[in-house]
Amino acid sequence: MYLQNNTFRKNGLGNFGELLLNVSKDPAMIVWLDNQQNTKNKPNENYAREVMELFTMGIGNYTEKDVKEAARAFTGWMAPNGFYFNRKQHDTQDKTFLGQTGNFGGEDIIKILVARPETANFISRKLICFYCLDNPDQKYIERIAEVFSNSKQDLRATLEAIFKSPEFRSDKAYHAKIKSPAEYVIGTLKSLQVDKLDGDLPAVMARMGQNLFEPPNVKGWDGGMSWIATDTLMERFNFAARIATQKFDAKEGYINPVVLANQFDAKNAQDMVDHFLDRLVDKDVPANARKQLLAYVAAAAPPTGTQSSNVTAKLDAKALEGKMRGLLHLIMTLPTYQLS
């Protein structure tokens, strides 16, 4: 999986055809999708199907016959210790794949797939969904797909087109995606300047539904609302509580609420609420949420026992710290904080 991750990093902004070829020949793919068992006399269809359904054209654009023919073309691709082409196990008869006939090998199948218009649409859609918004409209997809095709499947050019598109900066794309657990956890640590990384963070993300390097299946994580169920959401709330509660010690690198508050010159409840709503959720909350947070910070309650409902009253250091922790916890539980 480490090698595969390197392959993604190396080819991620390059040519899609090269990326697909390298990923297809990557031992992780060959082993995981059973191509080691894909032999001349007994073809195994696993990779042939998934490369079309999940990595190029998408479902509905090929027949069961295409699956079987592509499987024959991938016979002999093995990875006993790095990629190895086992000539003896390769089927050298003609294959008819998506209307073309020839003595195809795996490379030919990948070339044919990469050039298909369905692939341009499929990959463009995926990139838009990952970086911009879910459920993009067809016209937007087609505009990006044109860039993908015209640039001979150059991913950098395709991404540039997405980032420069008006849709990318539209209201529709604003806070329109749900943070993945990795985005939620790592994003929180970065924005609260937490330097100390606890060893169990991967386990925390796994309980939120994202076990890094171990996707639930070859399709990967679905994203969107599939991240959000009662127990995965509770994990997020409790991670927020933990980050907000942990003992501070500047040397240890955990959050120090007083330092954070001082950075913003936050002296009273109103300063704190407004500064941190700005910093963590771009002030994108309804009036009621702000009102409730102000009430929480100003309320007389343990741990501080401060008696004041005046949101502009100056807080002493102890009150500041106690209330800051609660405030950060609560902001991180907001619906908007789950969004990116």
Q: Tell me which residues in 243-302 interact with another protein (CB under 8 A).
A: 245, 284-286, 288-289, 292-293, 295-296, 299, 301-302
Size of the site for another protein (CB under 8 A): 72
Which residues from 145-184 bind another protein, rule CB under 8 A?
Answer: 171-178
Q: How far is the CB of 14 from another protein (least distance, A)?
A: 28
129 binds another protein (CB under 8 A): no
CA angle 51, 54, 57 (to 5 degrees): 80
Nearer to another protein, 115 or 299 (CB): 299
Q: How far is the CB of 322 from another protein (least distance, A)?
A: 7
In the list 1, 6, 34, 82, the residue contacting another protein (rule: CB under 8 A) is: 34
Nearer to another protein, 155 or 178 (CB): 178
* Cβ–Cβ under 8 Å, residues 212 and 182: yes
Nearer to another protein, 234 or 259 (CB): 234
138 binds another protein (CB under 8 A): no
In the list 203, 234, 259, 317, the residue contacting another protein (rule: CB under 8 A) is: 234
224 binds another protein (CB under 8 A): yes
For residues 115 and 209, give the distance between their C-alpha atoms in angstroms, rounded to a whole number: 35
For residues 149 and 153, give the distance between their C-alpha atoms in angstroms, rounded to a whole number: 5
Q: How far is the CB of 151 from another protein (least distance, A)?
A: 29
For residues 329 and 337, give the distance between their C-alpha atoms in angstroms, rounded to a whole number: 11
Nearer to another protein, 156 or 242 (CB): 242
> What are the b/e assignments for 273-295, b being 16+ CB within 10 Å?
bbbbbeebbeebbeeebeeebbe
Choices 8-16, 97-105, 151-159, 319-327 (CB under 8 A): range interacting with another protein: 319-327
* Cβ–Cβ under 8 Å, residues 133 and 177: yes
* Cβ–Cβ under 8 Å, residues 151 and 157: yes
> In this structure, how many other beta carbons lie within 10 angstroms of the beta carbon of residue 225?
9
Q: How far is CA 285 from the centre of its chain?
A: 24
Nearer to another protein, 147 or 255 (CB): 255
Q: Which residue type occupies 274?
A: D
Q: In terms of C-beta distances under 8 Å and separation of at least 24 residues, what long-range contacts does 169-175 make, across chains too?
A: 172/133, 173/132, 173/133, 174/284, 175/282, 175/284, 175/336, 175/339, 175/340
39 binds another protein (CB under 8 A): yes
Residue entry with tokens 């003896």: 88
Q: How far is the CB of 105 from another protein (least distance, A)?
A: 18
Choices 151-159, 235-243, 252-260, 310-318 (CB under 8 A): range interacting with another protein: 235-243
In the list 7, 11, 24, 36, the residue contacting another protein (rule: CB under 8 A) is: 36
CA-closest candidate to residue 164, choices 144, 148, 184? 144
Nearer to another protein, 233 or 258 (CB): 233
For residues 247 and 244, give the distance between their C-alpha atoms in angstroms, rounded to a whole number: 9
Residue 169 DSSP code: G
80 binds another protein (CB under 8 A): no
For residue 320, give every residue at least 6 positions away whose Cβ sits within 8 Å of its Cβ, in sequence order, or none. Answer: 257, 258, 261, 266, 267, 272
In the list 156, 169, 196, 242, the residue contacting another protein (rule: CB under 8 A) is: 242
Site string for another protein, 46-65 (x = CB under 8 A): x--x---x-----x----x-
